Amino acid sequence: MSKVAIVTGSAGGLGKGIAERLGKDGFSVVLHDINEALLNETVTELKGKNYNVIGVKGDVSKRDDQFNLVKEAVDHFGRLDVFVNNAGIEAVSPFLEITEEQLNRLFHINVNGVVFGTQAAANQFIKQAGKGKIINACSIAGHESYEMLGTYSATKHAVKSFTHSAAKELAKHQITVNAYCPGIAKTKMWDRIDEEMVKYNDDLKPGEAFEKFSSAIALKRYQTPEDVANLVSFLASEDSDYITGQTILTDGGLVFR
């Protein structure tokens, strides 16, 4: 019987890359997203590659949705082995222009979503009386606080803290909790960050913010979804059984900790 993984926010971007890699690794994968049309497209695409996948629409910021997601996975595949809290959003603004709406939106999705996903997965792992793995999306912004990305950086610092706390509390159940911390990837999220940075800086032209950030990478190339998926694949495997409470940078050499 194949292992079962859930990946939130996996209709596109890094989440899709992670879901595809876990499928390649032999997992049955539950794809999840709030964008139903894109989710259905991705499910069809991965089924066309002979991966064993289903799609569940949901909003990670709602606790009931996260528990329902786990229930749907278990109803369909019979068990759960890995839960990847991948879903997240960004916001770009000067510190003095951070709004109540921005704070609430980013924390609800990036932080509350991780907490609720971890709770839902851990409850299922405890019911199964076996080990389980929870893998969270942190970021270089969880290790460094970036200008113009104040709220996003704060949410990712919170994810790092919850990763540590959950790992300490859940270890007695043989549940590991770790996080992957991507850097600069050519995704739609980074396209949006670049676009917003240009709005607030007259000296920048479109594409230059991305180039400026990525030029500092030691390995001299920006990140691909495969780079992130490689780390998640390891964290989802038995090779990582003795690792917990870690927030691992996968950024090509940008932030050194």
The reported pLDDT for the residue numbered 149 is 95
Residues 58-70 have pLDDT tens digits of 999 999 999 999 9
Q: What is the pTM of this model?
A: 0.96
CATH topology of domain 4-183+224-250: Rossmann fold (3.40.50)
Q: Residue 170: pLDDT above 80?
A: yes
The verdict on whether residue 230 carries a ligand-binding annotation is: no
| Averaged confidence pLDDT in the chain | 95
Where along the chain do its domains lie? 4-183+224-250
> E strand or H helix at 222, and its extent?
none
pLDDT band at 192 (very low <50, low <70, confident <90, very high): confident
Percent of the chain past pLDDT 90, that is, above it, reads 87
The verdict on whether residue 185 carries a ligand-binding annotation is: yes
Q: Kindly list the catalytic residues.
A: 152
The reported pLDDT for the residue numbered 214 is 85
The verdict on whether residue 163 carries a ligand-binding annotation is: no
- Mean pLDDT of all residues in 209-214: 81
Distance (Å, whole) CA 161 – CA 164: 5
| Cα-Cα end-to-end distance for the chain | 39
